[in-house]
Copies of this chain bind each other. A is one copy, B any other.
Amino acid sequence: MEFRQMTYLVPICGVAALVFAWLRSAWVIKQEAGNEKMAEIAQHISEGAMAFLRREYRVLAIFVIVAASLLSWANSGNPASSALIGVSLVAGAFCSALAGYFGMKIATKANVRTAAAARKGLNPALHIAFSGGSVMGFCVVGLGTLGLSGLFLVYTRLFDSGAAQADLLRAVTVLTGFSFGASAIALFARVGGGIYTKAADIGADLVGKLEAGIPEDDPRNPAVIADNVGDNVGDVAGMGADLFESYVGSIVGSLVLGVSATTLAGESYTPALVVLPLVLAGAGVLVSLAATFLVRTGEGGNPAHALDRGTFGAAGVMLVVVWFLAHRILEGTYVIAGTEFDATGVFFATVAGLAGGVAIGLITQYYTSEAKKPAQQIAKDSLTGAATNIISGLATGMRSTALPVVVLVAAIVVADQQAGLYGIAIAALGMLSTTGIQLAVDAYGPIADNAGGIAQMSALGAEVRARTDKLDAVGNTTAAIGKGFAIGSAALTALALFAAFRATVGLEVIDLANARVMGGLFIGAMLPFLFSSMAMRAVGRAAFKMIEEVRRQFREIPGLMEGTGQADYAKCVDISTQAAIREMVAPGLMAVIVPVVVGFYDTAALGGLLAGVTSSGVLMAIFMSNAGGAWDNAKKFIEAGAHGGKGSDAHKASVVGDTVGDPFKDTAGPSLNILIKLMSVVALVIAPLLV
């Protein structure tokens, strides 16, 4: 069939993304890097970030090799799978790690160049910061599509026994390892990165700002470099690995479900449903790429509008592309688990996913923006002290779960009605098809944030700082939408992987009337609580060590406060690095081991576990992310002059909320996105062993 040749175009799209990323990075590197002082600070940040990444990857390499060997061993000789699944795992982990490495390398070069450009004006600075973010974005989608489609083409050639359907199923099953590799890297990167960034942040704030009374990003603060490294480690590499996982997971989920569907005539060989997700992913790369050229703004323009034009433009074009490709590739009516669907159904499932993602993003923005009522109410409740600030923030976070869940459920029900389980996977894929530009916008944020830090530390003056602050503020708004997207896509991806798991393991029903399923549901629902607790306590322990060290330096280094002594930045970087690496292991292993243990005990109980962890995980993620965001912006609202402004009692109360919110929104919350996907993918990967 002619359309199958389209599959060969997908790796080419991946290569195009990588070429684009390479061109962007060459351009960024060519830009002026500022004066000597700036270069020195940037050097510190870059070295710290890359050192962390290397140490993290060294630990992860061990995990990946062990997991890949076990999987290969368990699947060798299995006619439905192959020892090559271990190769998929290594490839997935490698692609994710490579994307993180490149993205962070360029991000830590773009930050100082953004600061340097901010001396000239807002737009040159915006352009560099966004270009830096684009490298992360297009490395992720480039390596994702290239890796997945490349392996797909190899496997479909290798597994050629003549039984087209079985061969395709086998190829896709072996491909699930790629998703597992991506998930494993993502979990450790998010958890490790989250611990790193918040330990440094809390350490820098509590001792530097509160005890020593020096401003944010002051070079006298020994933890200041670690704090800036943390932004890259958590928000660039961590976010990149997160979206890489979602991206790959949604494609793999669609592939598995595509194989398991049949045609209306009962013919079970339906390659069109397998080709479609790959082609959609490839098309999404090109659309995203084109959309980056929409991110331009004239002098005096609003950078936020430029960024919005990019993401919303890409989403709009993508809808048209989906309509066209679905009708071009799909031929007639298909059936999955009793639901009939056709190209139009697939299109509307995609619309449900995309609309749901945008809606959740906007709701997230409402609950966290300093211009909206919820954050302002928290600011007002700070007038009666820290306790009422905390209660108000927690209540806001809890309340903010309601609408996103309703939207999510609507998207699920519509997608299912339109195209069954395949529709849910395609909805997730639709939401994630423009990951390239979405992630570029997300990664732009921490680059702008870093640029502000460098401007401050190199004493570039108020005007420059004002420009970087403006870029940073824009980044915060887009970040809120990006976070909503990340949660929504994580939920849909987890459900798609869950459905794929059921299809693979042949579980016709997962019956809540079964006590083991109910037991699995309870255990699953509990895990996000336990996991969040572990992450928060890890931050607490790491921050405590950081506080001790910063206090020690202020005490022991002569002339540090006066500016004549030199802070030992490396020591603080080292503390965050060590703590993050050590503390990420326990929660990470728990996430991998629990589904395996439960799965071998009882397959249906594993189904319950996944449902529990997904529902409770999504809720806890929304609750914690939004509470943290709202506290943050309540503080900013007060700092902008409300309720007495900086230094008032209300401000002190709001600082307490902001500090509590840090591990909520930057460590535990985002890690939960990964937890739910990882558990589903683990179930999917071990599924052939459970049959």
Contacts and interface: CB of A to CB of B under 8 A. Distances in A.
Given A522-B408, A522-B615, A618-B522, A399 B513 contact: no
A509 interface: yes
Interface in A507-531: 507-513, 515-519, 521-523, 525-526, 529-530
B386 A521 contact: no
Q: How large is the interface on A (under 10, 10 to 19, 20 to 34, 35 or more residues)?
A: 35 or more
A615 B618 contact: no
A387 to B, nearest CB: 4
Contact of A530 (B402, B533, B537, B539): B402
A515 B387 contact: no
Given A519-B409, A536-B395, A513 B499 contact: yes
A394 B616 contact: no
Contacts of A660: 387, 390-391, 394
Given A395-B537, A518-B495, A513 B337 contact: yes
Contacts of A513: 337, 421, 499, 502, 507-510
Contact of A529 (B398, B519, B608): B398
A289 interface: no
Nearest to A404: B526
A533 B517 CA distance: 29
Contact of A526 (B381, B416, B417, B619): B619
Contact of A394 (B395, B509, B530, B536): B536
Contact of A616 (B387, B391, B406, B615): B615
Q: Is the interface of A mostly helix, strand, loop or mixed?
A: helix
Contacts of A406: 523, 526
Contacts of A550: none
Contacts of A536: 391, 394-395, 398
- One complex includes copies of this chain to the number of 2
A655 B387 CA distance: 8
Given A509-B513, A518-B495, A547-B384, A526 B405 contact: yes
A512 B615 contact: no
B384 A544 contact: yes
A372 to B, nearest CB: 16
A665 to B, nearest CB: 13
Contacts of A518: 412, 495, 611
A473 interface: no
A132 interface: no
A659 interface: yes
Most buried by B among A387, A424, A521: A387
A180 interface: no
A595 interface: no
Given A390-B656, A656-B386, A522 B399 contact: no
A612 interface: yes
A385 interface: yes
Contact of A413 (B519, B534, B539, B607): B519
B540 A391 contact: yes
A663 interface: yes
Interface string A475-519: 000000000000000000001000100100001111111011111
A662 B499 CA distance: 42
Nearest to A538: B395
A577 interface: no
Given A392-B540, A519-B412, A529 B623 contact: yes
Given A384-B206, A533-B396, A615-B521, A515 B623 contact: no
Interface string A531-557: 011101101100110010000000000
Interface in A581-639: 607-608, 611-612, 615-616, 618-619, 623
Contacts of A526: 401-402, 405-406, 619
A511 B532 CA distance: 29
A502 B518 CA distance: 14
Given A533-B399, A656-B386, A391 B663 contact: yes
A618 B623 CA distance: 17
A529 B396 CA distance: 10
Given A495-B518, A660-B387, A540 B402 contact: no
A687 to B, nearest CB: 14
A495 B513 CA distance: 10
Q: Among A206, A399, A421, A529, which residue has the most Cβ atoms of chain B within 10 A? A: A529
A401 B531 CA distance: 11
Nearest to A401: B529
A133 B205 CA distance: 51
Contacts of A611: 512, 518, 521
Contacts of A616: 525, 615-616, 619
A398 B656 contact: no
A413 B522 contact: no
Nearest to A659: B387
Contact of A515 (B405, B412, B615): B412
A508 B509 CA distance: 11
8 contacts: A384-B547, A399-B530, A401-B526, A405-B523, A409-B522, A512-B512, A612-B615, A616-B616
The 3 A-B pairs at the shortest CB distance, nearest first, are namely A416-B515, A387-B659, A398-B533
Interface of A: 206, 337, 381, 384-388, 390-392, 394-396, 398-399, 401-402, 405-406, 408-409, 412-413, 415-417, 421, 424, 495, 499, 502, 507-513, 515-519, 521-523, 525-526, 529-530, 532-534, 536-537, 539-540, 543-544, 547, 607-608, 611-612, 615-616, 618-619, 623, 655-656, 659-660, 663
